Amino acid sequence: MKGTFPIDKFQSIETPFYYYDTELLWRTLNVIHKEVERYERFEVHYAIKANANPKLLNIICQAGLGADCVSGGEIEAASKAGFPANKIVYAGVGKSDWEIRLGLEKGIFCFNVESLAELEIIQQLAAEMNTKANICLRINPNVGAHTHANITTGLAENKFGIALGDMMDVIEKAHLMSHIHIMGLHFHIGSQILDMGDFEALCNRINDIQKQMEQHNIRIDVINVGGGLGIDYAHPNRVSIPDFKAYFECYARHLKLRPYQHLHFELGRAVVGQCGTLIARTLYVKQGTHKQFAIVDAGMTDLIRPALYQAYHKIENISSEAPLATYDVVGPICESSDVFAKSIDINSAHRGDFIAIRSAGAYGEAMASHYNCRQLPKGYISEEL
């Protein structure tokens, strides 16, 4: 089964470009809303790093999600899109002074703090600005996730978060800091996770940590479990909306939330992944010795995931119903890793055919680059075509 696209409207647009199906985005947001509503104190933030296209941010903001930022630029983008400051959280292992000041000026909901060194600087800058910083400590829970090695973040030896063994010491120090207010704890174990058992393992670890906190009379109001829910890259048409029901239910069932606590989520890929498609045109079909190459006008500068993580994206020739043929689908960049897929079957391709690279809404446009002096791909939402 192939996706349906307004091909006649694509004719006048310069390729490559991202096409976002906002009807699907809204349906996804509505499912999130419906599932979250079942639990009183669950709050979802959208991880802006997945896609900061202003048109999408606007929709996501309208749907009532908060924003999870990892840079000053993302805080600006979130504010511009209309996310209220009290719904913005800010994480990252290397926050610059100007970024911390920006967060303080805006009065964001909280900083997710990743080290004692960072905490000391936030204390100093908040004191200079005569304000108090709300913080969650990002704890490295040492929970492995069954996903690609480059995108797991929750294991012990990792640049992210504060090691479990250092946690109590950092909390004690934070309590003594005059311009720091500890609101809670933050976790994130990785991305593209489809095994609910991984999230369950995180819940169990947090339950242990909660007991430890109570033994020390430390009050935690916010627990932020990060993001990570994956999407079905193999079946973007059949499974266009991730299983949010199972995801939130997993936390509701396994995490022992205290009556006064709020549970925060930071979902990126699961929100925008399936609504985005990279649309390219076939430039040439090149006959190799043993292979055929479909050379398209999009490259790793537009979508780097296959080159960087060997990530799979379903590829369709949406201009043709001709019999299937086998191709390596490659881009024009001067790098041998500029390959979208090897030996895949698509409808026989000819110059000018539109090629759809699916499930590219998350970490696609956001990770595009100017390498080879290429232009950044534009993003269009369905209703503006």
CB atoms under 10 Å from CB of 324, counted, come to 12
377 binds ligand LLP (CB under 6 A): no
Provide, rounded to whole angstroms, the least separation between the CB of residue 329 and ligand LLP. Answer: 18
Cα angle vertex 207, ends 148, 187, to 5°? 40
Provide, rounded to whole angstroms, the least separation between the CB of residue 186 and ligand LLP. Answer: 7
* Of 31, 116, 129, 151, the one binding ligand LLP by CB under 6 A: 151
Joined together, the tokens standing for residue 98 give 């100007």
Is the sign of the CA dihedral 372, 373, 379, 384 positive or negative? negative
* Of 65, 135, 267, 355, the one binding ligand LLP by CB under 6 A: 267
156-185: which residues touch ligand LLP (CB under 6 A)?
Answer: none
74 binds ligand LLP (CB under 6 A): no
Q: Tell me whether residue 243 or residue 266 sits nearer to ligand LLP (CB atom).
A: 266
* Of 266, 302, 353, 365, the one binding ligand LLP by CB under 6 A: 266
Q: Dihedral of the CA atoms 39, 41, 47, 53 (nearest 10)?
A: 80
302 binds ligand LLP (CB under 6 A): no
Site size toward ligand LLP, by CB under 6 A: 22
One-letter amino acid at 380 equals: Y
One-letter amino acid at 223 equals: I
Which among 59-67, 94-102, 220-228, 287-295 is the span making contact with ligand LLP, rule CB under 6 A? 220-228
* Of 66, 103, 141, 227, the one binding ligand LLP by CB under 6 A: 227
Which among 7-15, 169-177, 221-229, 275-283 is the span making contact with ligand LLP, rule CB under 6 A? 221-229
CB atoms under 10 Å from CB of 213, counted, come to 19
231-260: which residues touch ligand LLP (CB under 6 A)?
Answer: none
305 binds ligand LLP (CB under 6 A): yes
Which among 226-234, 246-254, 282-290, 317-325 is the span making contact with ligand LLP, rule CB under 6 A? 226-234
Separation of alpha carbons 364 and 273, rounded Å: 9
Q: Tell me whether residue 16 or residue 268 sits nearer to ligand LLP (CB atom).
A: 268
Spell out the residues 6+ positions from residue 240 whose beta carbon is closer than 8 angstroms to its own.
24, 27, 28, 274
50 binds ligand LLP (CB under 6 A): yes
188 binds ligand LLP (CB under 6 A): yes
Spell out the residues 6+ positions from residue 369 whose beta carbon is closer than 8 angstroms to its own.
301, 304, 376
Which among 59-67, 99-107, 194-202, 262-270 is the span making contact with ligand LLP, rule CB under 6 A? 262-270
Give me the helices (H) in 14-155, please. Answer: 22-37, 54-62, 72-81, 97-106, 116-128
DSSP letters spanning 151-203: GB--SSSSSSSEEGGGHHHHHHHHHT-TTEEEEEEE---BSSB--HHHHHHHH
Applying CB under 6 A, which residues contact ligand LLP?
Answer: 47, 50, 68, 91, 151, 153, 188, 191-192, 226-229, 266-270, 305, 309, 362-363
